[in-house]
């Protein structure tokens, strides 16, 4: 085979005035604008483009389009680029992928000598012994992994996504697809026409027939004048539920690849047909190409595919290829007609010779063998819509069976006709698509309760009155009387498939899995039907009996970058955050929140709170504003304890359990007014509890009058803690008596703080110190914080972070839901069983909590290691003596700067929960230490004198 550039063709897409220079395996080459990488290389006489996966056989152009399995190359840091499709750009660094040391001399080609041993699935039958050698075998096998190279420094370049809601999306821009788009648009539908190729026109693009070119010009003109949105070099990659479509746009000016998500009201599938290779000995040699490849090379890029050709033709496309080849001066050595029983048995010849051996054994000298053996219907989009296409032996391809009524097929997928017939069917399909889209649009709009009124009744579902396309007879040509490659990506031959079927892997799915046929980068576009044919042959059945595999999305591969799009990971910070950042804060991530962990020395922060006063930003604390006369009933239903008699201005701690009795959340809720409450939740539980509350209200107690508003971020929350907190607050508060008797522990008051009205002030805290928890309208958070800092400067006020708070809450023995409890921790296990009021009529989880009272449950307890300097890890297991029997675990642990010793919370089995029990803790180091369970959860101030102060 010797390809070369010829004179200007009327149909060509190259701009011969625009020369582009690029490199191929380090050497300089040039091509023209409009060339694909492959056409430029072919024009320059390149013959070998890749090496096959297993046998490292040399491979050349096969189909010269996107689906060509032999044209996978590396372009810069971009692996597995389809050289048959990717347009040439100036300066491209193109390399072959699967060859070493070079494309023309590949050491692993020696494998082809071992072909008879390396049959499909051979690796299942060997390398089992010795077992210890398998990792080594595996590393060697892995060197055969095909494909390009990943450069891990590749940046995640710019990708964006687009959402669109067209009435009609037409997938495929051949004559039928274009007509469908035009007709739908004329009928008033908004239409998106998606062309996989770089320009619209489908097979008309590379037809030299005058009538085809005239039609193409007419269609393009009509498109330009229409409202149809045309996307080129774009593919509908998937059809998902309710016509949700993924469309990848590869030629977006900014995004490397752009994912378009379209909710189409109707989808027209018009992908055309894909030419199927023929299986015979040597069918994968460079110089054996499909008729479509020949026609594209000649008509699109002005490349003569060879000097002397044998053409095996079973259809009009093959016949047209003969004419195209003759026009550029390729000598036609022979035309073998597959319609009249002619066949090709094998190819022979060294290097550039591709002699064709025909049925009678005669060899015809040639350097090019063009094959037109039939078509594969790429029914992928129909499969994704649930259709199971059926095989028609008379036409030798699959046809749609019964796709959903909002997915319509046209063009070659639907049948055969002359150009006019295809156009008429396309137009009829477009009108039908538009009519059905109108009905869908009406239905969607009328069912949106708050939308504007929709005029008229819903249009009737338009019946399918299209005149069906015919089906041209075509011989069933899958394999000649010799064996050849079925899957060139995977190096799987028909012989492999037959052997697999005889071994018992005789359904398509089993054979596919066993041999890996159709699993490669061509996604089975070229291979599936030949695979089915080989299995059918081995089983002595028909293709219809064997059936086909299910085509899965995507229709064409798309990059992870396009799918990922831009990173949209929200970050939440409080309004006080700028102050933290200006004050040496160390940040900790808590879900989406960025929170102050500490400001340099958490132990000092603890001591300052214990001795003076500290401020912590607790804005992420979940807050729900509850209003209505039935709030007390709601609280009684959701919390395990009682709420009916909570007075105005009072605050109460509550624990929530799920219906299975497992601890769900906890927090305090206060009564701000007659019918007005504020519930606080854990920070991580804020969203979940809100939904849970809504669920109970809406589904179990819809008659209750309660209005729920989440106000977590409506307020900035500051806890002022420490013995001097009252003194600090007195300097900034107006309108509230801070005296211990007037404003005692577990009460709430509304106040003006630092001039900000409408603040709520709670006498509660997690630290065990005298505390005031302020909820300040969020916009004033920073101001109030700064005012507190200023007012407290002579009291020694300082900030403290989450770490300090965690130490202090542990000193006080407050458990944290989700850390000291887990997914099985029942309410009574927290040690707060006395909160659970089983005499209430109903509350979430009541039956389980009642039964739990009789069960022996693990308990949350406070534990102190006997050696006060050893802090067990939060995960250290509590074990029975020297055994490995697990009796519990440490759930929280810290060194207490207040007590100067290590302190813990943990879960232990019930019989270890009594104060004074000695337990063994297994440290991560493997060391076992003694520890003692203490009487109550609080390591510090168990009587709570400080916080009541």
Partner 1 sequence: MAGLAGRLRKRPPKYSAAALAWKGLRGQSWPRVWRDCDLQRSYDAVVIGGGVHGLATAYYLARNHGMTNVAVLDKAYLGSGGSGRNTAIVRSNYLTPEGVAFYDRSVHLYEQMAVELNINVMFSQRGHLTLAHSDASLRTMHWRAEVNKLGGVNSSVIGPDEIKKECPSLDTSDHPRYPIQGALYHPPGGVVRHDAVVWGYARAADHMGVEMHQKTEVTDILCEGGDGPDGKGAGGRVTGVRTNRGDISTPIVINCTAGWASLISTMAGVRLPITTHPLQAAVTEPVKMFLPTVVVSGSLHVYVSQTDRGELVFGASVDPYANYSVRGSLEFTEGLAGHVLELMPGVSRMRILRQWSGLCDMTPDYSPVMGFTPVDGFLVDVGWGTYGFKAAPVSGEQMAEAAATGRTPKLIEAFALSRFDNGELVGEKGAASVGH
Partner 2 sequence: MLLVPCPNCGPRNSTDLRYGGESHARPDPNTASPAEWRAYLYLRDNPAGWLRENWYCASGCRRWFSIERNTATNEFRDPPLPGNKRGGAA
Residue choice 326, 402, 481, 659 for contact with partner 2 (CB under 8 A): 659
Q: How far is the CB of 668 from partner 2 (least distance, A)?
A: 24
Rounded Cα distance between 584 and 710, Å, is 32
- 702 binds, options partner 2, partner 1, none, Cβ within 5 to 8 A by partner type: partner 2
H or E element: which one contains 423? helix 419-446
HSE-CB at 225 with a 13 A cutoff on CA atoms is 8
Q: How far is the CB of 556 from partner 1 (least distance, A)?
A: 9
Which is nearer to partner 1, 564 or 740 (by Cβ)?
Answer: 564
- 450 binds, options partner 1, partner 2, none, Cβ within 5 to 8 A by partner type: partner 2
Which is nearer to partner 2, 772 or 843 (by Cβ)?
Answer: 843
**451 near partner 2, judged by CB under 8 A:** yes
Which string of DSSP letters, residue by residue, matches 334-368?
EEEEGGGT--EEEEE-STT--EEEETTS-EE--SE
Please identify, among the stretches 62-70, 362-370, 445-453, 624-632, the one whose residues bind partner 2 according to the rule CB under 8 A: 445-453
Report the sign of the C-alpha dihedral through residues 852, 856, 858, 864, in that order: positive
Q: In DSSP terms, which residues pair with 616 in a beta bridge?
A: 719
- 841 binds, options partner 1, partner 2, none, Cβ within 5 to 8 A by partner type: partner 2
Task: For 883, list phi and psi in degrees, rounded to 5.
Answer: -85, 175
Query: Which tokens is 265 given?
Result: 């009201």
**251 near partner 2, judged by CB under 8 A:** no
**699 near partner 2, judged by CB under 8 A:** yes
Rounded Cα distance between 568 and 566, Å, is 6
- 694 binds, options partner 1, partner 2, none, Cβ within 5 to 8 A by partner type: partner 2
Measured in residues, the chain has a length of: 949
- 251 binds, options partner 2, partner 1, none, Cβ within 5 to 8 A by partner type: none
Contact 511, 497 (CB under 8 A): yes
By CB under 8 A, the residues from 848 to 887 that bind partner 2 are 848, 851
Contact 69, 520 (CB under 8 A): yes
Nearest to 632 by CA among 599, 661, 674: 674
Which is nearer to partner 2, 447 or 502 (by Cβ)?
Answer: 447
Q: How far is the CB of 503 from partner 1 (least distance, A)?
A: 5
Which is nearer to partner 1, 514 or 677 (by Cβ)?
Answer: 514
Residue choice 188, 779, 847, 930 for contact with partner 2 (CB under 8 A): 847
How many Å separate Cα 605 from the centre of its chain? 44
**660 near partner 2, judged by CB under 8 A:** yes
- 554 binds, options partner 1, partner 2, none, Cβ within 5 to 8 A by partner type: partner 1
Which is nearer to partner 2, 105 or 450 (by Cβ)?
Answer: 450
**841 near partner 2, judged by CB under 8 A:** yes
Q: How far is the CB of 453 from partner 2 (least distance, A)?
A: 13
Which is nearer to partner 1, 745 or 895 (by Cβ)?
Answer: 895
- How far lies 85's CA from each of 233, 650, 749, 793, 916, in Å? 9, 73, 71, 71, 77
Residue choice 102, 401, 405, 698 for contact with partner 2 (CB under 8 A): 698
Residue choice 240, 509, 564, 885 for contact with partner 2 (CB under 8 A): 240
- 877 binds, options partner 2, partner 1, none, Cβ within 5 to 8 A by partner type: partner 1
- 18 binds, options partner 2, partner 1, none, Cβ within 5 to 8 A by partner type: none
By CB under 8 A, the residues from 723 to 782 that bind partner 2 are none
The neighbour count for residue 710, using CB atoms within 10 Å, is 17
Which is nearer to partner 1, 255 or 774 (by Cβ)?
Answer: 255
Which is nearer to partner 1, 19 or 149 (by Cβ)?
Answer: 149
- 698 binds, options partner 1, partner 2, none, Cβ within 5 to 8 A by partner type: partner 2
Residue choice 138, 151, 242, 326 for contact with partner 2 (CB under 8 A): 242
Nearest to 479 by CA among 309, 288, 363, 345: 345
Which is nearer to partner 2, 268 or 440 (by Cβ)?
Answer: 440
H or E element: which one contains 771? strand 771-777
Strand 308-313 versus strand 331-337 pairing type: parallel
Q: How far is the CB of 376 from partner 1 (least distance, A)?
A: 17
The count of chain residues that interact with partner 2, using the rule CB under 8 A, is: 30
Please identify, among the stretches 82-90, 118-126, 694-702, 855-863, the one whose residues bind partner 2 according to the rule CB under 8 A: 694-702
Residue choice 218, 509, 842, 911 for contact with partner 2 (CB under 8 A): 842
Contact 829, 821 (CB under 8 A): yes
Kindly state the DSSP code that residue 468 receives in the 8-state scheme.
Answer: P
- 449 binds, options partner 1, partner 2, none, Cβ within 5 to 8 A by partner type: partner 2
- How many Å from the N-terminal Cα to the C-terminal Cα in the chain? 97
Which is nearer to partner 1, 151 or 227 (by Cβ)?
Answer: 151
Rounded Cα distance between 297 and 293, Å, is 6
Query: Which tokens is 91 given?
Result: 């300066």
- 451 binds, options partner 2, partner 1, none, Cβ within 5 to 8 A by partner type: partner 2
Q: How far is the CB of 294 from partner 2 (least distance, A)?
A: 42
Rounded Cα distance between 213 and 206, Å, is 9
By CB under 8 A, the residues from 701 to 720 that bind partner 2 are 702
Which string of DSSP letters, residue by residue, matches 888-939?
EEEEEEEEETTTTEEEEEEEE-GGG-STT-EEEEE-TTS-EEEEEE-SSS-S
Q: How far is the CB of 240 from partner 1 (least distance, A)?
A: 5
Cα Rg for the chain, rounded, in angstroms?
38
Q: 719: Cβ–Cβ under 8 A, 6 or more apart, which residues? A: 615, 616, 618, 765, 766, 767, 771, 772, 773, 774
Q: How far is the CB of 122 from partner 1 (least distance, A)?
A: 6
3-state secondary structure 289-339: EEHHHHHHHHHHHCEECCCEEEEEECCHHHHHHHHHHHHCCCEEEEEEEHH
Q: How far is the CB of 459 from partner 1 (least distance, A)?
A: 28
Query: Which tokens is 509 given?
Result: 């799915």
Q: How far is the CB of 702 from partner 2 (least distance, A)?
A: 5
Which is nearer to partner 1, 246 or 271 (by Cβ)?
Answer: 246
- 447 binds, options partner 2, partner 1, none, Cβ within 5 to 8 A by partner type: partner 2
Residue choice 218, 700, 866, 927 for contact with partner 2 (CB under 8 A): 700
Binding mask 121-160 for partner 2 (x = CB under 8 A): ----------------------------------------
- 700 binds, options partner 1, partner 2, none, Cβ within 5 to 8 A by partner type: partner 2
**402 near partner 2, judged by CB under 8 A:** no
- 222 binds, options partner 2, partner 1, none, Cβ within 5 to 8 A by partner type: none
Contact 826, 661 (CB under 8 A): yes
Rounded Cα distance between 865 and 901, Å, is 9
Contact 48, 275 (CB under 8 A): no
Please identify, among the stretches 52-60, 173-181, 646-654, 841-849, the one whose residues bind partner 2 according to the rule CB under 8 A: 841-849
- Burial zone of 742 (CB within 10 Å; 0-12 exposed, 13-18 middle, 19+ buried): exposed
Contact 406, 266 (CB under 8 A): yes
- 834 binds, options partner 1, partner 2, none, Cβ within 5 to 8 A by partner type: none
Question: What is the phi-psi region of residue 348: left when phi exceeds 0, alpha when psi lies from -120 to 50, beta otherwise?
Answer: beta
Contact residues toward partner 2 (CB under 8 A) are: 240-242, 244, 261, 263, 386, 444-445, 447-451, 659-660, 691, 694-695, 698-700, 702, 841-843, 846-848, 851
């Amino acid at each position: 085979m010797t390809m070369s550039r010829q004179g200007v063709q009327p149909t060509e897409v190259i701009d011969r005035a625009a020369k582009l220079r690029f490199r191929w395996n380090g050497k300089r080459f040039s091509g023209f604008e409009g060339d694909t990488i492959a056409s430029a290389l072919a024009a320059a006489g390149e013959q070998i483009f890749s090496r096959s996966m297993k046998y490292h056989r040399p491979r050349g152009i096969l189909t010269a389009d996107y689906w060509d399995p032999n044209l996978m190359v590396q372009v810069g840091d971009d692996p597995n680029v389809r050289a048959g499709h990717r347009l040439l750009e100036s300066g491209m660094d193109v390399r072959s992928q699967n060859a070493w040391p070079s494309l023309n001399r590949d050491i692993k080609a020696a494998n082809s000598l071992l072909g008879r041993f390396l049959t499909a699935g051979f690796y299942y039958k060997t390398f089992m012994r010795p077992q210890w050698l398998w990792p080594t075998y595996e590393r060697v096998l892995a060197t055969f992994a095909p494909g390009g190279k990943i450069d891990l420094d590749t940046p995640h370049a710019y990708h964006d996504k687009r959402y669109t809601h067209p009435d009609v999306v037409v997938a495929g821009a051949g004559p039928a697809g274009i007509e469908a788009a035009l007709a739908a648009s004329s009928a008033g539908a908004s239409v998106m026409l998606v062309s996989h190729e770089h320009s619209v026109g489908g097979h008309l693009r590379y037809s030299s027939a005058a009538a085809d070119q005239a039609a193409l010009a007419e269609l393009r003109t009509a498109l330009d004048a229409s409202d149809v949105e045309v996307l080129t070099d774009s593919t509908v990659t998937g059809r998902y539920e309710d016509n949700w479509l993924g469309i990848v746009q590869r030629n977006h000016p900014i995004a490397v690849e752009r994912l378009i998500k379209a909710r189409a009201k109707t989808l027209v599938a018009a992908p055309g047909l894909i030419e199927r290779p023929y299986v015979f000995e040597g069918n994968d040699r460079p110089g054996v190409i499909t008729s479509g490849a020949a026609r594209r090379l000649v008509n699109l890029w002005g490349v003569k595919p060879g000097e002397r050709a044998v053409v095996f033709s079973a259809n009009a496309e093959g016949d047209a290829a003969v004419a195209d080849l003759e026009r550029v001066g390729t000598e036609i050595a022979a035309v073998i007609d597959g319609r009249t029983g002619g066949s090709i048995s094998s190819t022979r010849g060294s290097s550039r010779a591709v002699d064709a051996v025909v049925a009678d054994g005669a060899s015809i000298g040639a350097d090019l063998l063009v094959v037109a053996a039939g078509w594969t219907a790429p029914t992928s989009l129909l499969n994704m819509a649930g259709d199971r296409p059926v095989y028609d032996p008379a036409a030798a391809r699959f046809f749609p069976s019964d796709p959903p009524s909002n997915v319509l097929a046209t063009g070659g997928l639907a049948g055969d006709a002359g150009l006019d017939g295809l156009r008429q069917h396309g137009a009829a399909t477009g009108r039908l698509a538009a009519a059905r889209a109108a009905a869908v649009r009406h239905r969607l709009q009328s069912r949106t309760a708050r939308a504007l009124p929709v005029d008229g009744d819903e249009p009737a579902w338009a019946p399918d009155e299209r005149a069906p396309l015919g089906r041209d007879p075509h011989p069933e040509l899958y394999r000649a009387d010799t064996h050849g490659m079925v899957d060139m990506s995977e190096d799987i031959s028909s012989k492999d498939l037959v052997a697999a079927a005889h071994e018992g892997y005789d359904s398509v799915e089993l054979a596919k899995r066993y041999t890996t046929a159709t699993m490669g980068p061509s996604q089975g576009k070229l291979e599936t039907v030949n695979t089915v044919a080989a299995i059918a042959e081995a089983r002595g059945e028909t293709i219809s009996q064997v059936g086909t595999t299910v085509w899965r999305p995507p229709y064409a591969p798309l990059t992870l970058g396009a799918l990922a799009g831009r990173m949209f990971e929200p970050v939440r910070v409080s309004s006080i955050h700028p102050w933290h950042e200006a004050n040496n804060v160390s940040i900790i991530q808590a879900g989406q929140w960025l929170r102050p962990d500490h400001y340099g020395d958490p132990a000092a922060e603890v001591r300052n709170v214990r001795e003076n006063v500290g401020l912590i930003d607790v804005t992420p604390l979940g807050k729900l504003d509850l209003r209505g006369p039935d709030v007390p009933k709601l609280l009684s239903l959701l919390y395990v304890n009682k709420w009916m008699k909570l007075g105005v201005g009072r605050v109460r701690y509550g624990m929530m359990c799920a219906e299975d009795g497992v601890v769900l959340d906890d927090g305090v809720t206060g009564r701000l007014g007659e019918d007005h409450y504020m519930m606080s939740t854990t920070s991580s539980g804020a969203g979940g509890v809100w939904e849970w509350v809504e669920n109970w209200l809406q589904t179990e107690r819809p008659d209750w009058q309660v209005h729920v508003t989440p106000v977590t971020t409506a307020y900035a929350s500051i806890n002022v803690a420490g013995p001097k907190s009252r003194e600090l607050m007195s300097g900034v508060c107006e309108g509230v008596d801070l005296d211990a008797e007037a404003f005692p522990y577990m009460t709430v008051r509304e106040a003006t703080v630092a001039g900000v009205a409408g603040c709520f002030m709670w006498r509660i805290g997690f630290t065990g110190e005298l505390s005031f928890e302020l909820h300040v309208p969020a916009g004033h958070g920073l101001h109030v914080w700064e005012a507190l800092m200023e007012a407290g400067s002579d009291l020694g006020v300082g900030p403290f972070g989450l770490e300090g708070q965690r130490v202090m809450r542990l000193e006080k023995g407050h458990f944290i839901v989700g850390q000291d409890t887990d997914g099985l921790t029942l309410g009574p296990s927290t040690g707060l069983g006395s909160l659970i009021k089983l005499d209430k009529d109903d509350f979430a989880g009541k039956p389980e909590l009642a039964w739990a009272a009789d069960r022996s449950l693990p308990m949350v307890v406070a534990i102190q290691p006997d050696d006060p300097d050893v802090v067990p890890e939060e995960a250290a297991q509590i074990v029975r003596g020297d055994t490995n029997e697990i009796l519990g675990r440490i759930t929280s642990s810290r060194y207490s700067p207040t007590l100067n010793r290590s302190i813990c919370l943990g879960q232990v089995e019930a019989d270890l929960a009594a104060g004074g029990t000695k337990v063994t803790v297994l440290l991560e180091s493997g060391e076992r230490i003694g520890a003692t369970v203490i009487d109550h959860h609080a390591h510090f101030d168990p009587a709570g004198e400080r916080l009541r102060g």
